[in-house]
Chain A
Amino acid sequence: MIVTPRLRLRALALRDMALFRALYCDPGTMRHIGKPLSRAVAVASLRATVAATRKPAGLRFFVIAECQSRRGVGLCSLRPAAWDKRGIELGIMLVHTARRHGYAREAFAALINYAFRALPIDTIWVQYRRANAGMARLCDILGFEGNFLPRSGTSVRRCVRIRRDRNGAVFSNQPTRGITMSNIIGFLEQAGSNAAMRHASREALLRTMQDKEIENVLRQPHRSLLDDLTGARETMYCKNTAIAPPKQKAPAKKKPAKKTPAKKPAKKAPAKRKR
């Protein structure tokens, strides 16, 4: 068992079916992973996963539970990296209600420490879909680096790694922040959705930007740097309706007048004889 200030990471068991289903059958949770499982498939998948974890030096699957409530709030895994003999791949899923509490960062940091301490590895890998801004942000904060080609899946995935310190020291959990798309978008989303930030003074907002080291990017008068970093499209068309002037009717052409047969001169009535 791995224990952090707020979480306990324990081995996955068959009794965790409810949590397993809550994660793998939920479209929202699965949106960056794959198609949600049906309830029946989830049962079979849990059995297969638990069986796989019993093999030595194989997959390790943990339930992330809150220390206080002992409630399972997510799953995380360590699996041997197929492309790296001295590497392991890390994964994590949290139920919707447990997100935005810093649990992912706490669990990930503990797992990285555990892996470097207990396993014969030099590198920890994470693969995620590029659209998964939350995971990108987490990896940036924890110091994962690189932008390697995906080891599996499609090009929409990004592969990052963290390596054991050459001096033998274990992972320090000190954030190494770089200016990336994920922390800019993350900051903007937070600034837009958090009432305190949305209406904060300009100075307070600037301080937050400075903390996140994105001030220089967001304060650029021209957005080229911001667009470059986020990979955003520069030219955006906004108009979604086109109102054209009415078609003016062309003046009607004069039709040639039909030739009407000349009227026969009316026969003059014979003049009445005056009496």
Chain B
Amino acid sequence: MKSIRGHTQAGSLACIGIGITLGSHLTPLARSHIEQADVVFLAASDGIVEKWIESLHTDVRSLQPFYAANKSRNKTYREMVNAILAQVRAGQKVCAAFYGHPGVFAWAPHEAIRIARKEGYAAHMEPGISAEDCLYADLGIDPGTFGCQHYEAGQLLFYKRRIDPSAYLVLWQVGALGDQGRGAAHSATHLAYRKILIERLARDYPRTHKITIYRAATLPIHAPRIERIALRRLADADIEGADTLVIPPARKLEPDIRALGRLARLEQASA
């Protein structure tokens, strides 16, 4: 029998974001999802954050054990989805909590929701404060001013992408460059990939262009990492998994004369 919302099965899934900073970003709704769930699955970015969420519910199951060095990430994510869905199928009210926003750079929440809905379970996503949100606040960037492009660093290398150097460019997961989806890469591989990244960026930016290495604060007593270096120094920089590259515009916005002319004629016609 279908429920009033059209769900045919008893279990349910809510994928929520717990934000980045411990204690600061958990929304009242996300907290309520955690408190009211039968089972909570957790993918946190910090062991202390994991402990904190464990204090909010009696049955918090970390997704960290699914990761392993040299294990295929795709396999890890599939196992996460299976573990979450097994509880949904058992009729439980499941909350899957992911650090940041559960739908940003996270494969498992989208996939778990897709499968759960397909099987007739109620499933939805609650947004969380992502590292991107922290980045705008900490660096004082308004993406509306010049525009902002976001790419996964590896993807920028693998595919032909058009970079607009008159807008901001944000590159995510730079610290994971070269791991080929297997969770760990040799430092030499990282370095080699980073050198290729510099060459790729140098097509659109001068090598002396100042870029920012950014990392949001996970604990409220810490400050965010904001380090400015020249693009050519990127290979030597100390970059970790949670670091992001922010490349400010290198060119002025170029007016589109033809479009402006057409718009002006449109204005005159309507005046």
Residues of A within 8 A of B (CB): 27-28, 31-32, 129, 131-134, 156, 181-182, 184-185, 188-193, 197-198, 205, 209, 218, 226-227, 230-234, 236-246
Shortest Cβ gap from A141 to chain B (Å): 16
Q: Is the CB of B55 within 8 A of A205?
A: no
Shortest Cβ gap from B196 to chain A (Å): 12
Annotate B77-118 by CB proximity to A: 1 below 8 A, 0 otherwise: 100000000000000000000110000011110000000000
Among A209, A218, A234, A242, contact of B73 (Cβ-Cβ < 8 Å): A242
Q: Is the CB of B152 within 8 A of A192?
A: no
In the assembled complex, the Cα of A233 lies from the Cα of B106 at a distance in Å of 21
In the assembled complex, the Cα of A269 lies from the Cα of B77 at a distance in Å of 75
Q: Which residue of B lies closest to A192 (CB)?
A: B23
Question: With an 8 A cutoff between CB atoms, is B261 at the interface?
Answer: no
In the assembled complex, the Cα of A27 lies from the Cα of B74 at a distance in Å of 36
In the assembled complex, the Cα of A27 lies from the Cα of B143 at a distance in Å of 41
Q: Which residue of B lies closest to A195 (CB)?
A: B24
Question: With an 8 A cutoff between CB atoms, is B137 at the interface?
Answer: no
B155: chain A residues within 8 A (beta carbon): 243
Q: Is the CB of B105 within 8 A of A240?
A: yes
B67: chain A residues within 8 A (beta carbon): 237
Q: Which of B47, B107, B176 has most A Cβ within 10 Å?
A: B47
Given the known A-B contacts A192-B22, A245-B158, are A28 and B36 also in contact in the complex, defined by CB atoms under 8 Å? yes
Q: Is the CB of B221 within 8 A of A245?
A: no
Q: Is the CB of A242 within 8 A of B23?
A: no
In the assembled complex, the Cα of A254 lies from the Cα of B43 at a distance in Å of 49
Q: Which residue of A lies closest to B180 (CB)?
A: A244
Q: Which of B2-10, B56-64, B252-260 touches A? A: B56-64
Among B45, B55, B77, B98, contact of A236 (Cβ-Cβ < 8 Å): B45
In the assembled complex, the Cα of A241 lies from the Cα of B242 at a distance in Å of 13
Q: Is the CB of A241 within 8 A of B106?
A: yes
Q: Is the CB of A28 within 8 A of B35?
A: yes
In the assembled complex, the Cα of A246 lies from the Cα of B21 at a distance in Å of 35
Q: Which residue of A lies closest to B62 (CB)?
A: A233
A190: chain B residues within 8 A (beta carbon): 23
Shortest Cβ gap from A214 to chain B (Å): 10
Q: Is the CB of A238 within 8 A of B241?
A: yes
B35: chain A residues within 8 A (beta carbon): 27-28, 31
Q: Is the CB of B58 within 8 A of A188?
A: no
Q: Is the CB of A246 within 8 A of B159?
A: yes
B134: chain A residues within 8 A (beta carbon): none
A243: chain B residues within 8 A (beta carbon): 152, 154-155, 158, 173, 181
Given the known A-B contacts A191-B221, A237-B67, are A245 and B50 also in contact in the complex, defined by CB atoms under 8 Å? no
Given the known A-B contacts A239-B176, A242-B74, A245-B154, are A234 and B55 also in contact in the complex, defined by CB atoms under 8 Å? no
Q: Is the CB of B51 within 8 A of A231?
A: yes
Question: Which chain B residues numbered 19 to 70 have a C-beta less than 8 Å away from chain A?
Answer: 21-25, 32, 35-36, 43-48, 50-52, 54-58, 60, 62, 64, 67
